[in-house]
Amino acid sequence: MDAPHLDRKERLSAAKLHASTYVIAAVMLVLAVGLWRLQVLGATGYRVLAEANRVRKVPVLAPRGKIFDREGRIIVDNYPSVSCYLLREQGKNLDSDLPMIAAGLHIPVEQIEATLKRFAYAPKYQPLPLKPDITQDEQAFIEAHRNELPELETLDEQRRLYPREGFAAHLIGYVGEVSENDLKTEKYAVYNPGDVVGKSGVEASYDSILRGTDGSRNVVVNSHGKEVGQLGQELAKPGQDIHLTIDLDIQKAAELALEGKTGAIVAMDPHTGEILAMASRPTFDPNQFLHLSRAYWNSIVTDTDHPLMNKTIQAQLAPGSTFKIVMSLAGLQENVAQTMQVNCSGGADFYGHYFKCDKRHGAVDIHRAIPMSCDTFYYTLANKLGIDTMARYATSVGFAQRTGVDLPDEAVGTMPSTLWKLKTQHDKWYAGETISVGIGQGAIQATPLQLARALGGIASGGVLRRPHVVMDEGIQPDQRETFDTIHGMYPGSGEKTVALTTENWQTITDAMAETTISGTAGQAHLEGIDFAGKTGTAQVMSHDALARSGGGHKTVPNAWFVGMAPRRNPDIVVTVLWENGDWGSNSAKLGAQIVNAFVAKQRRVAGNLKVAEAPKVVAPPAVKPVAAAASVPSGQ
């Protein structure tokens, strides 16, 4: 490019240059208007947005109430714990950090990747749980790598510390994060996603008292969600402690008695309905549920002995001969059994079928029938009473109804009757079916707690209490309403009194005492303790099915025992269910351990066990039977 010949005088258009000033002014004006629009007209709105950007409400988790036994000994405690969360900050590629994070927190990279994948569609500001309950070493790792790994965040929490080895696990239950499905139900409407709630046992039924109220802090965060300051806070209201009716000493005896067995033991104070011990086997470790591994969960759900089932209130099984006490109540109150004499030749014919007894008992009346557990006597009695009379008495002492214990998912049980058969099977009842029900076999099903309450109630002169596991005492006045609401959520047959004459009461209780002396539970005799009870050996399948199955552990009968001390107005009643335990007498020995532990403690503490020697002098019932309970006629 050569420089052209230039005329130095030449000028560019002055008008155009002048005009450019206006262009500049116009551009400035447009920008100024834009600023006016945002900063003057829109300021209020944008200020709200700016605050929403930087201020975040962070929950302060309320520690759950602790759980004590009736004497104030701690059963469930809390411990401070630190959890690690992952923040997915804007724009940062986490992939390259994963191996380092995995190594520092001692978790596999795949697990972090799985978490990231699972929460891929969750909002970016939501922190992802990486590892709960991290160790001090892992905390130190996070602190030391604040700069390289700003995406790691810790949160202080209070975690549940449950007794080891599944001690009282079914009674206490466990906590877990509320599930998506639960949130949709009315019961869980008050909870938010991510809340930790009681999932079973007392943790579930008393959740509203135990949980407290979470607080919150208004924290200032930067664009990565990192906390840089705090504006204000609302303190968390800790959950209330509760005291169980459980006596740890009795509970320990029950847990020991069940060691290595499948079954359940429940002990109750029939005066009050307070449950003193509640154990079920196999059990589970609630501590494992805090960070549940797939392997542990699989081992639990595939176990055919149902470790998660609280068998004291959820196992519905044929009660076997323990039902004979209810039969005796019916027979005596109907004035049939007093005079009944049966000659047992090892069985009897009814309606063309031969019904076996396990022995040749010879001449048997009600006083021998109970301790000897003579089937022939009760076949005959059942035949005389008929199924509907039996059902009337059985339901009067709580069969086929929930007891109303303050625990979730109590089973109902079954008491067959003509109406029941019509309703469930649309068929008429055959008189022949009544015979087996007389010895607690056939369609009849009961839970261990139902049996404890029924037999304990009969021994108490017909007074039945509502079983419960949480003490009224110790509930704060402001929680009283919640407490009553909880009780209202577990309706059952409730407190009631059934008709029982003094003579009949004596007959039954004396016969039950004889059981542990010369009867079926003679091996379980406790010297110096007025110990009474009734054994039961319940077939788990019919004789035909048994013959076909060819034996095996699962075909062995269930061993039952319901025991009490003293025989009249007992201070403790205990039901032992030993699944496939073969003979009721085996369970009686376990029941004796519990009663012995109870009596030994009573004597140790105050020497206040009301009975020491077997009373030969008949005392009137401490609680006078009410003339008639709703469903039971006086029978006089």
Contact code string over 90-109 relative to another protein, x by CB under 8 A: x-------------------
d(CA 607, CA 71): 17
Question: What distance lies between CA 85 and its chain's CA centroid?
Answer: 31
Does 21 participate in binding another protein (rule CB under 8 A)?
A: yes
Q: What are phi and psi of 551, to 5 degrees?
A: 85, -155
Residue in 187, 204, 180, 192 with CA at minimum distance from that of residue 64:
204
Does 231 participate in binding another protein (rule CB under 8 A)?
A: no
Does 116 participate in binding another protein (rule CB under 8 A)?
A: no
Q: How open is the CA angle 157-163-169, to the nearest 5 degrees?
A: 100
Q: Which stretch binds another protein (CB under 8 A): 40-48, 189-197, 515-523, 575-583?
A: 40-48
Contact code string over 407-446 relative to another protein, x by CB under 8 A: ----------------------------------------
Q: Which stretch binds another protein (CB under 8 A): 11-19, 108-116, 195-203, 437-445?
A: 11-19
3-class DSSP string for 544-588: HHHHHHCCCHHHCCEEEEEEEECCCCCCEEEEEEECCCCCHHHHH
Looking at the Cβ atoms of 35 and 618, the one nearer to another protein is 35
d(CA 535, CA 322): 6
Looking at the Cβ atoms of 217 and 224, the one nearer to another protein is 224
Residue in 315, 301, 313, 326 with CA at minimum distance from that of residue 262:
315
Angstrom CA distances, 491 to 206, 272, 403, 620, stand at 15, 17, 8, 32
Q: Is omega for the bond preceding 566 within 30 degrees of 0, making it cis?
A: yes
Q: Which stretch binds another protein (CB under 8 A): 39-47, 316-324, 400-408, 603-611?
A: 39-47
Residue in 73, 50, 291 with CA at minimum distance from that of residue 177:
291
Does 32 participate in binding another protein (rule CB under 8 A)?
A: yes
Does 552 participate in binding another protein (rule CB under 8 A)?
A: no
Number of residues binding to another protein, judged by CB under 8 A: 50
Q: Select the residue interacting with another protein from 71, 74, 99, 222 (CB under 8 A).
A: 222
Q: Which stretch binds another protein (CB under 8 A): 8-16, 198-206, 313-321, 447-455?
A: 8-16
DSSP state, residue 263 = E
Q: Which stretch binds another protein (CB under 8 A): 44-52, 532-540, 562-570, 582-590?
A: 44-52
Between residue 52 and residue 71, which ones bind another protein under the rule CB under 8 A?
53-54
Q: Give burial (CB, 10 Å; 0-12/13-18/19+) of 109.
A: middle
Does 224 participate in binding another protein (rule CB under 8 A)?
A: yes
Q: Select the residue interacting with another protein from 228, 231, 422, 545 (CB under 8 A).
A: 228
**In this structure, are residues 456 and 403 in contact, taking their beta carbons and an 8 Å threshold?**
no
Q: Is omega for the bond preceding 307 within 30 degrees of 0, making it cis?
A: no
List all residues 6 or more positions away from 566 whose beta carbon is below 8 Å from its beta carbon.
529, 530, 531, 532, 609, 610, 611, 615
Q: Which stretch binds another protein (CB under 8 A): 28-36, 346-354, 462-470, 574-582?
A: 28-36
Does 5 participate in binding another protein (rule CB under 8 A)?
A: yes
Does 74 participate in binding another protein (rule CB under 8 A)?
A: no
Looking at the Cβ atoms of 17 and 618, the one nearer to another protein is 17
Q: Select the residue interacting with another protein from 58, 220, 256, 300 (CB under 8 A).
A: 220
Pairing of strands 274-281, 242-243: unpaired
Does 6 participate in binding another protein (rule CB under 8 A)?
A: yes
DSSP state, residue 147 = T
Does 120 participate in binding another protein (rule CB under 8 A)?
A: no
Residue type, 14: A
Does 223 participate in binding another protein (rule CB under 8 A)?
A: yes
- Three-state SS at 231: strand
Q: Select the residue interacting with another protein from 14, 606, 617, 627 (CB under 8 A).
A: 14
Least distance in Å: CB of 125 to another protein? Answer: 8
d(CA 547, CA 42): 87
**In this structure, are residues 567 and 459 in contact, taking their beta carbons and an 8 Å threshold?**
yes
Looking at the Cβ atoms of 38 and 547, the one nearer to another protein is 38
Looking at the Cβ atoms of 15 and 627, the one nearer to another protein is 15
Looking at the Cβ atoms of 16 and 616, the one nearer to another protein is 16
List all residues 6 or more positions away from 362 whose beta carbon is below 8 Å from its beta carbon.
343, 344
- Two tokens, residue 531: 């110990």
Does 481 participate in binding another protein (rule CB under 8 A)?
A: no
Q: Give burial (CB, 10 Å; 0-12/13-18/19+) of 234.
A: middle
Least distance in Å: CB of 30 to another protein? Answer: 7
List all residues 6 or more positions away from 69 whose beta carbon is below 8 Å from its beta carbon.
75, 243, 244, 246, 247, 248, 251
Least distance in Å: CB of 57 to another protein? Answer: 16
Least distance in Å: CB of 129 to another protein? Answer: 21
Q: Select the residue interacting with another protein from 92, 118, 124, 356 (CB under 8 A).
A: 124
**In this structure, are residues 130 and 115 in contact, taking their beta carbons and an 8 Å threshold?**
yes
Does 11 participate in binding another protein (rule CB under 8 A)?
A: yes
Least distance in Å: CB of 130 to another protein? Answer: 21
Least distance in Å: CB of 9 to another protein? Answer: 9
DSSP state, residue 5 = P
Q: Select the residue interacting with another protein from 23, 120, 363, 627 (CB under 8 A).
A: 23
Looking at the Cβ atoms of 34 and 528, the one nearer to another protein is 34
Looking at the Cβ atoms of 33 and 301, the one nearer to another protein is 33
Could you list the residues that contact another protein (CB under 8 A)? Answer: 1, 3-8, 10-14, 16-18, 20-21, 23-25, 27-28, 30-32, 34-40, 42-43, 45-47, 49-51, 53-54, 90, 124, 220-224, 228
